[in-house]
Amino acid sequence: MPSSPTWFATPADAAARLAGAGYLADGATATTAYLAGALEKPLLVEGPAGVGKTELAKAVARVSGAELVRLQCYEGLDEARALYEWNYKKQLLRIQSASVSREATATTTRAGAAEGWDESIFTEEFLLTRPLLTAIRREEPTVLLIDEVDKTDVEVEGLLLEVLSDFQVTIPELGTVSAARRPYVVLTSNATRELSEAVKRRCLYLHLDYPDAEREREIVTSQVPDLEERVAAQLVATITRLRELDLKKAPSIAESVDWARTLLALEIGDLDDAAITATLGVVLKHASDQARAVKELRLRA
């Protein structure tokens, strides 16, 4: 088995390299990212939507040169979409082909042919690998992102347990497939439901929340370096006020960055009421949220 890569040498190394990839990690995030690689344990990142959970996995893949394999979770996700399934159409063609050959070969018995079909259609040739099995079988460094795991049904967690415990998958027709090289695993959750203790027990845990104003200003200016410092400060102050409102969807960090790029593109040098009202759709995507913001912030066009 190939040796596991050293993802990060120290927490400080994690912070520096992630920053180089455009991801500004605080002390807790850098330390946990380091430990996930050093201990070869899955990392469960929980927090509201838009705080950088998914981006953390992408940043780890970028700085390590690893392949990112993503399983996007959703209600109704099953084993066939997460792990593997058989190529039934191709199997049927093989059976039909074998049937023709059997009719042409008088020496082949019906029972013998049937047994041959069973053996021949459950091989690698007919196996369609999905994200979990793909990540386990890769021999190159891999980051496995299991995104929004809280959106799946509870039953799917049972499937994850074998993967997260032993990094192996059992395929009845082929046997047990063990990881050629353990992937760096990141699970994200928006905390829409409580995950089982069994899953949590197998993971390191990191809670990400919206950054404070200073940290968000650093993120915005690092992503949009041409934005004036004064405008960046105004933007972050406004974003902070918006998140304090009772909105359907609070602005994410990515939307803060998008707003900064919008202001730069429009050459807006002062984020006054008129500028906020004109560009509010960049950060608030519900009409009711925009109406509430205009009212609560007392914006004037």
> Tens digit of pLDDT for each residue in 228-287?
999 999 999 999 999 999 999 999 999 999 999 999 999 999 999 999 999 999 999 999
Q: Do 240 and 285 reside in the same domain of the chain?
A: yes
Enumerate the β-bridge partners of residue 170.
Answer: 176
Q: Do 111 and 30 reside in the same domain of the chain?
A: no
Helices and strands in the chain: count of H runs, count of E runs: 14, 9
> For residue 120, how many C-alpha atoms fall within 13 Å in the half-sphere facing its CB?
16
* Domain assignment present for 231: yes
Q: Structure tokens of 265? A: 């593109």
Q: Tell me whether residue 261 is exposed, middle or buried, using C-beta atoms within 10 angstroms of its C-beta: 0 to 12, 13 to 18, 19 or more.
A: middle
Domain limits at 228? 213-296
Q: Do 19 and 59 reside in the same domain of the chain?
A: yes
Q: Tell me whether residue 146 is exposed, middle or buried, using C-beta atoms within 10 angstroms of its C-beta: 0 to 12, 13 to 18, 19 or more.
A: buried
For β-strands 84-86 and 127-129, DSSP reports them as: antiparallel
Q: Do 202 and 91 reside in the same domain of the chain?
A: no
* pLDDT of 71 strictly over 60: yes
* Domain assignment present for 144: yes
Which contiguous run of DSSP H or E holds residue 193? Answer: none
Question: pLDDT tens for residues 121-133?
Answer: 777 777 788 999 8
pTM, rounded to two decimals: 0.84
Q: Which of 163, 192, 207 is the last residue of a domain?
A: 207
Place of tokens 């519900």: 286
Q: Which of 127, 162, 193 is the last residue of a domain?
A: 127
Instruction: Return the C-alpha torsion angle 225, 227, 230, 232, nearest 10.
Output: -80
Q: Which residues contact 77 (CB under 8 A, 6 or more apart)?
A: 151, 152, 153, 156
Number of domains, the chain: 3
Rg (CA), the chain: 25
Question: pLDDT tens for residues 86-110?
Answer: 877 877 887 777 677 666 664 444 4
* Domain assignment present for 44: yes
Q: Do 147 and 57 reside in the same domain of the chain?
A: yes
* Domain assignment present for 301: no
* Domain assignment present for 5: no
* Domain assignment present for 2: no
Q: Do 73 and 20 reside in the same domain of the chain?
A: yes
Instruction: Give the Cβ contact number of residue 6 at 10 Å.
Output: 10
Which CATH number covers residue 163?
3.40.50.300
Q: Do 191 and 97 reside in the same domain of the chain?
A: no
Q: Do 61 and 40 reside in the same domain of the chain?
A: yes
